[in-house]
Amino acid sequence: MPHDSKSRLSRAPAPRTTDLMMNWRIGVDLGGTKTEAVAIDGTGRERLRRRIPSPGGDYGATIATIAQLGEAMENELGRRTRVGVGIPGTISPATGLVKNANSTWLIGHPLDQDLAEALSRPVRIANDADCFALSEASDGAGAGAPVVFGVILGTGVGGGIVVNGRLLSGPNAIAGEWGHNPLPWPLDDERPGPTCYCGRSGCIETFLSGPALTHDDGRGVTARDLASRDDDQSAQSLARYEHRLARALAHVINLIDPHVIVLGGGLSNIERLYETVPRLWGRWIFSDNVQTRLCPPRHGDSSGVRGAAWLWPVSDDPPPAASEVPAAVRAVLMEPMPPTIWLTRESTAGEGGATGPGAAPQAGTEADDPAKLHIDLQLTRRELAAAKAEAALADAAKSRFLAAASHDLRQPFQAMNLYLQVLETLPQEDRARKALALLRTSMEAGEELLQALLDISAFEAGIIAPNVTRFPIAPLLDELAGEYHCVALEHGLSFRTFPVEAVVETDRVLAKRMCRNLVHNAFRYTRDGGILIGCRRRGARILVQVFDTGPGIPADKLQMIFEDFYQLDNPARDRSKGLGLGLSIVQRTAHLLGQDVWVASRPGHGSVFSVTLPLATSHSGNKP
Ligand SMILES: [Zn+2]
């Protein structure tokens, strides 16, 4: 990096402060007896939590209480935030008024409008079961899963569906409300079933709520106590419950095929459900094998309030403020950048089999007999093929194991994260605080490594099936810009995106992950200057290019950076610098999607990583 570039770039215009402020959100969980609020930052870390009694029965006081609570927290935090509220009911899209609330004083009021007025900003409101699902899908047990079904098994039964980080919400605002469907595949003694307050009989809720379990057992024992007893009757009651839960969830899996189902509510504490129910549900699921995972909640009772905060997903954060393209980035953009290495599917597709030079026999001796030579070659090939098949089997078994154990491997990190959060909120002396900060860095690096390993094993186990849809590229890049906006500020780097108006046709989640890994990598190596994401059309494809003003990559290292665990300039393998797996994942993803990725670099000036995505063809929208 030339010496003067840092001083020049440090004068780049500062971002508008409002952009920064919007990266925090407050979630409010409006309960019948207590109102809880939490402030989280853009990474989901909890920054402040407050709990006060709910002003029961008084709508005006409810509005005032939420407004005062929000303002008091913002004063404490010293920043303005976005606000989401979870309520025991829902806002009817037809009337704009609260309906289905057991806190009856809310019914018939335009709660969202009144709160927006009181807090002078837009306020998002959702049902508490939806908030639970959103919390677990955003940064809980279902984090990263494209489709998550969150289930509340408590005094009532409800649910919410989250698709790609957003709540599914239809014209009736009842998505996921499966508690009042009939219990599927009922046994003779389950017909017509208990009467339900909704006016029908045999609803799922009348079998799967906590009170229903107690009623079914017949001894007045609470669900929690049943789970801890080891007498025959308790075992039978729980077995009936599990059979019913498996049928009810099989119905949901047949309908929306979620990647993860997260249980919440009091009955989610019954640990054996996570083992017994998935063992049972296969017989009703219309699939030869079932990949759906059944998970306990990560945030448990906190999910209502955290999910309310996530009603403002990170992707809604404003893109970074416009600023001048730094000269250093412009230089990378304008100048030709040999050498380039292409990593096409063909060049990495592998080896030429047993016909390479190593397999050729020595000249002389048997080589003189063409028939024998032919047989020997065939034998060698067969042996090689057998050895290769055996190695592939072992490798596949390892990958399958890792993919299957992925949840269990992640869980210790979740627990550590939680304990660390507890420690961080306690008062600390200086040395302890420093040690905690180091501990967090190490833990996050470990978690990142594990995540990357699991991603790779998922690829190798062949369980990643692209879900191809058509979507515009610009919002995806805007989302990335939102995610990395703060990182750029923190490191004093400029960061800009130049998307084009184009619709691509590929797997959105995988495409975003590829782009994110490239951006992440650029930030890892760039010390000053900036990073730029640009797009260009190239025939039937679009190039997404990530330019950086990092140290660049020597020509002889260009191929190696795509190998697992290879890190440039990191011979000491400093884990905090990342893992050297990001680019390897990009390459695997690109090949899975039938796309190409390559890099061009000029040492001392910077690099550009390019990945292709297929443009949607005009007729592909008419597919059935
Ligand atoms: Zn019902």
Domain boundary among 134, 155, 187: 134
pLDDT in tens, 447-460: 877 877 777 777 77
Query: Ligand 1 centroid to 178 CA: how many Å?
Result: 9
Residue 277 has pLDDT above 90, yes or no: yes
Domain boundary among 69, 99, 134: 134
Residue 150 has pLDDT above 90, yes or no: yes
Instruction: Flag whether 77 is in a domain.
Output: yes
pLDDT in tens, 583-607: 888 888 888 888 888 888 888 888 8
Helix H or strand E segment including 436: helix 430-460
Instruction: Flag whether 393 is in a domain.
Output: no
**C-alpha dist (Å) from residue 418 to 9, 47, 399, 413, 486:** 39, 13, 28, 9, 23
Residues 183, 95 share a domain: no
Average pLDDT, the chain: 80
Query: Ligand 1 centroid to 624 CA: how many Å?
Result: 36
Can you tell me the mean pLDDT for 336-345?
A: 44
Angle at 224 between CA 220 and CA 225, to 5 degrees: 55
Query: Ligand 1 centroid to 449 CA: how many Å?
Result: 46
Instruction: Flag whether 453 is in a domain.
Output: no
Residues 150, 110 share a domain: no
Can you tell me the mean pLDDT for 558-579?
A: 56
Question: What range defines the domain where residue 546 resides?
Answer: 327-341+466-622
- Percent pLDDT > 70 in the chain is 79
Question: Rounded to an integer, what distance in angstroms lies between the CA atom of residue 547 and that of residue 496?
Answer: 10
Residues 243, 337 share a domain: no
Among 567, 566, 582, CA closest to 451 = 582
Residue 441 has pLDDT above 60, yes or no: yes
Query: Ligand 1 centroid to 218 CA: how many Å?
Result: 21
Residues 49, 110 share a domain: yes
Instruction: Flag whether 260 is in a domain.
Output: yes
Distance of CA 264 to the CA centre of its chain: 19
Domain harbouring 262, CATH code: 3.30.420.40
- Split at pLDDT 50, 70, 90, the class of 624 is very low
Most confident of 221-230, 283-292, 327-336, 428-437: 283-292
Among 459, 335, 345, CA closest to 395 = 459
Q: pLDDT at position 369, please? A: 62
Query: Ligand 1 centroid to 587 CA: how many Å?
Result: 50
Domain boundary among 92, 115, 134: 134
- Lowest average pLDDT, out of 412-416, 422-426, 436-440, 563-567, goes to 563-567
Query: Ligand 1 centroid to 157 CA: how many Å?
Result: 10
Query: Ligand 1 centroid to 39 CA: how many Å?
Result: 35
User: Torsions phi, psi of 496, nearest 5?
Assistant: -135, 155
Query: Ligand 1 centroid to 187 CA: how many Å?
Result: 18
Residues 608, 480 share a domain: yes
Residues 196, 120 share a domain: no
pLDDT in tens, 479-497: 888 888 888 888 889 998 8
- Residue 155 near residue 75, CB atoms below 8 Å: no
Residues 615, 512 share a domain: yes
Residues 126, 146 share a domain: no
Residue 343 has pLDDT above 50, yes or no: no
539/147: higher pLDDT? 147
pLDDT in tens, 358-385: 334 444 444 456 666 666 666 667 677 7
Domain harbouring 529, CATH code: 3.30.565.10
Question: Rounded to an integer, what distance in angstroms lies between the CA atom of residue 602 and that of residue 551?
Answer: 8
Query: Ligand 1 centroid to 107 CA: how many Å?
Result: 20
Query: Ligand 1 centroid to 275 CA: how many Å?
Result: 28
Instruction: Flag whether 454 is in a domain.
Output: no
Residues 481, 605 share a domain: yes
pLDDT in tens, 76-135: 888 888 999 999 888 888 888 888 776 778 888 999 999 999 998 889 999 889 999 999
Query: Ligand 1 centroid to 195 CA: how many Å?
Result: 8
Instruction: Flag whether 263 is in a domain.
Output: yes
Query: Ligand 1 centroid to 130 CA: how many Å?
Result: 18
Residues 598, 565 share a domain: yes
Q: pLDDT at position 317, please? A: 63
Query: Ligand 1 centroid to 24 CA: how many Å?
Result: 38
Number of domains in the chain: 3
Residue 16 has pLDDT above 50, yes or no: no
In 135-292, DSSP assigns E strands to 147-153, 157-163, 166-167, 260-264
Residues 40, 112 share a domain: yes
Q: pLDDT at position 359, please? A: 38
Query: Ligand 1 centroid to 198 CA: how many Å?
Result: 4
Residue 306 has pLDDT above 70, yes or no: yes
Residue 572 has pLDDT above 80, yes or no: no
Query: Ligand 1 centroid to 168 CA: how many Å?
Result: 22
- Residue 466 near residue 505, CB atoms below 8 Å: no
Instruction: Flag whether 592 is in a domain.
Output: yes
Handedness of CA 344, 345, 346, 350 (dihedral sign): positive
Instruction: Flag whether 543 is in a domain.
Output: yes
Q: pLDDT at position 111, please? A: 92
Residues 160, 129 share a domain: no
Q: Give the amino acid at 61.
A: A
Query: Ligand 1 centroid to 244 CA: how many Å?
Result: 16
Query: Ligand 1 centroid to 155 CA: how many Å?
Result: 13
Query: Ligand 1 centroid to 194 CA: how many Å?
Result: 9
Query: Ligand 1 centroid to 266 CA: how many Å?
Result: 20
Distance of CA 465 to the CA centre of its chain: 16
pTM of the model: 0.51
Query: Ligand 1 centroid to 197 CA: how many Å?
Result: 6
